[in-house]
Amino acid sequence: MNARFSTPSAPPSGNPASQALQAVIFDWAGTLVDFGSLAPTQIFVDAFATFGITVSLAEARGPMGLSKRDHIRTLLAEPAIQVQWQQRFGNASTEADIDAIYERFMPMQIDKVGHYSRPIPGAVDTLGWLRGQGLKIGSCSGYPQPVMDVLLPLARKEGIAPDHVVAGDALAAGGRPGPYMALANVLALSISDVGACIKVDDTTPGISEGRNAGMWCVGLTLSGNEVGLTQQALAALPESAVSTLRDTAASRLLQAGAHYVIDSVAALPDVVADIGRRLAAGERP
């Protein structure tokens, strides 16, 4: 199995051996669809550009995994971006400015998300395998509901149809890195134990979300935001360069709390089987 492990947790007291996996909860962009998590990144760059503010793709990727409004807020708090804002507008950015950028961002994102709705290779087969194991499939995203309303029917036609979906703006409690969207899946899917759930994500806030919810966490290196390349661009690199990108992404995801890191969801079945064995042996996330 091509997976890396964090330090195993100690078995708890009591009788945990009866525990069995119940659900896997996925992120969307960079995890199930949109190899490289390209759709949201470029739109942040484009939205800020309409205000005369230059944001690099690397800067735009930094807060990925947060809800889109929080993502904008975090970008504006970056010193280099805030300096640009003050030079252009003569004052520090405000909540009204965050709202204005968000309102500019939303129609651009809705217009473009369909271009990036193709499943990541292996995602459809992995979802089918999970269902064959009797597991429920949840999901959550930093995308707000209007964007998900466009993405979901397109993804469904391609075979990506989780049992439940939570959008980034759906909960009053907020989004990542808090546990709320993951726990909303637990409630909707009638899961009896958060420790019987796996959270799969390509971003560090998404891994933190799963850990804060008390779940096993699997980070994705090559397919998602941490590397941020298309399949074609990745395939064109020498293996030594791919290995370096993989190692860097894995380090960040493990530091965020991932129990495992793998290249993409195509490798998830082996991890699910291993977590099942660890649960049976009395381990907890």
Give the start-end residues of each E strand in the chain. 4-5, 23-26, 136-139, 197-201, 216-220, 260-262
Pick among 3.20.20.70, 3.40.50.300, 1.10.287.1060, 1.10.150.240: CATH of 38-115: 1.10.150.240
pLDDT computed for residue 9 by the predictor: 42
Type of residue numbered 241: A
DSSP-based three-state secondary structure for 282: coil
**Domain locations in the chain as residue ranges:** 20-37+117-280, 38-115
* Contact present, 180 and 170 (Cβ < 8 Å): no
pLDDT computed for residue 62 by the predictor: 81
pLDDT in tens, the chain (285 residues): 456 655 444 333 333 333 699 999 999 999 999 999 988 888 899 999 999 999 998 898 888 778 888 999 999 999 999 999 999 999 999 999 999 999 999 999 898 888 888 999 999 999 999 999 999 999 999 898 999 999 999 999 999 999 999 999 999 998 899 999 999 999 999 999 999 999 999 999 999 999 999 999 999 999 999 999 999 999 999 999 999 999 999 999 999 999 999 999 999 999 999 999 999 999 999
pTM recorded for the entire structure? 0.86
Angstrom CA distances, 13 to 10, 198, 282, 284, stand at 9, 22, 9, 11
Closest CA to 34 of 265, 255, 258: 265
Angstrom CA distances, 92 to 45, 46, 48, 122, 239, stand at 20, 21, 15, 45, 45
Please give the structure tokens belonging to residue 275.
């977590």
Enzyme catalytic residues:
27, 68
Please give the structure tokens belonging to residue 12.
């708890």
20-37+117-280 and 38-115: identical CATH topology: no
DSSP single-letter state for residue 195: G
Query: Residue 119: what are its φ and ψ, rounded to 5°?
Result: -65, 145
Type of residue numbered 9: S
Fold classification of 20-37+117-280 is Rossmann fold (3.40.50)
* Contact present, 189 and 160 (Cβ < 8 Å): no
DSSP single-letter state for residue 224: S
